[in-house]
Amino acid sequence: MKSQNTYTYDINLQANKSLSPKQTKALEYLESKKLTSFYQIKLAELIELLGIENSKAQTTEKEIEEINSPADALHILFGCENRKQKIKLDKISTEYVIKPKTDLEIYCLYETGKPEKKQRLALVMPNDKICSKVTVNAEENTDLELSVITEPGSTGILILDNNLSQDANLELNFFNFGNLLINHIQTNLEADGSKAKIAITTYLNSNDKGYTSVNANHLSKNTKARIDSRSVLADNSTYGFLGNIYINKNGKNADSFLEDHVLLIGTHAKAYSVPSLEIKTNEVRAGHGATMGNVNQEHLYYMKTRGIPERKAVELIIEGVVINSIKSISSKEGKMKIVKCFEEKKKQGIHNA
């Protein structure tokens, strides 16, 4: 695992375009947290890809003070002029394609008398330049299966903010096939009995760059979270993972675990992983772990003795990681979409296996 100090870049946003006071404050926040050196993605690259505009809105001191997370700062830098769209889930299964310059606020409500409690929502980040914030509000007793799919070729920033009320249950499956992406996933377990299961699957190749930050915040008693991140990196791709479990003073009996596993294909792919815990109370269960390595040579040898060429064997191992992650998705349409993206991604090839 590489230290965050390895990743240092010269970032001069002022040289690209003028920034509003609020955007300047957001950049200062990132630099104060030393996050501009943590990203293996150059923010200057995103500016060039997404464009950055001077905010026309008036900036108040209150708005500046509200910058309290990297996600807030990134959204201000790149999505300050986004339009807002509210969605109420009124169907068992829904698919929505995220549009450029649009923020979503999604409300998931449990209605008694429905034959099936679980609701399914698939969010697709298309092959486009996107900087969006998606807020999911899961009300009391709701049960939501949320699939997020970033298509091959997608670039930009996606901020996903999940807020869970009492006894709400979230099952999030996040599939990252994009070319240049920063993903921030935050789940707030706000009330007694709320639960979240978060699975993140990443497959990058060619010269892809990706960064994922995931946080599970236990803000009430008897909450539970599981975070499982699995990544396959090939060719000259680079990927960073930052995971954090936070349990505040009200989080008694919280049960949380975070794990990150990275498979490197060849000798040119790079990855770093930083899992962490922040616990403010007693009577909790929490832990984390991370692994990183190359393809198991014994597995390759076994497959070659069965007549499978090495290149094909590596492809099958990659496929096993991705396809295994799809099994938990109940939506047939969602599975088909993920497989389609995976097949498209595979066409870029494995050049350094």
pLDDT in tens, 39-55: 545 555 655 655 555 44
Instruction: State which H helix or E strand residue 128 sits in.
Output: none
Angle at 169 between CA 168 and CA 170, to 5 degrees: 125
Higher-confidence residue of 49 and 194: namely 194
What letter represents residue 324's amino acid? Answer: N
Around Cβ 257, how many Cβ atoms within 10 Å?
16
Q: Which of 69, 27, 35 is nearest to 52 (CA)?
A: 27
d(CA 308, CA 316): 10
pLDDT over 70 (residue 264): yes
What are the two backbone dihedrals, phi and then psi, of residue 174, each rounded to the nearest 5 degrees?
Answer: -110, 120
Around Cβ 88, how many Cβ atoms within 10 Å?
11
Angle at 305 between CA 303 and CA 306, to 5 degrees: 65
pLDDT over 50 (residue 190): yes
pLDDT over 80 (residue 181): yes
- Contact of 201 with 174, CB cutoff 8 Å: yes
Q: Which of 341, 337, 325, 335 is nearest to 152 (CA)?
A: 341
State the pTM of this model. 0.86
pLDDT over 50 (residue 208): yes
Around Cβ 323, how many Cβ atoms within 10 Å?
15
Highest mean pLDDT among 1-10, 22-31, 61-70, 135-144: 135-144
pLDDT over 70 (residue 288): yes
Domain ranges of the chain: 4-62, 84-346
**pLDDT score for 116:** 59
pLDDT digits (tens, 9 = 90+) for 133-150: 999 999 999 999 999 999
Average pLDDT of the chain, as a whole number:
82
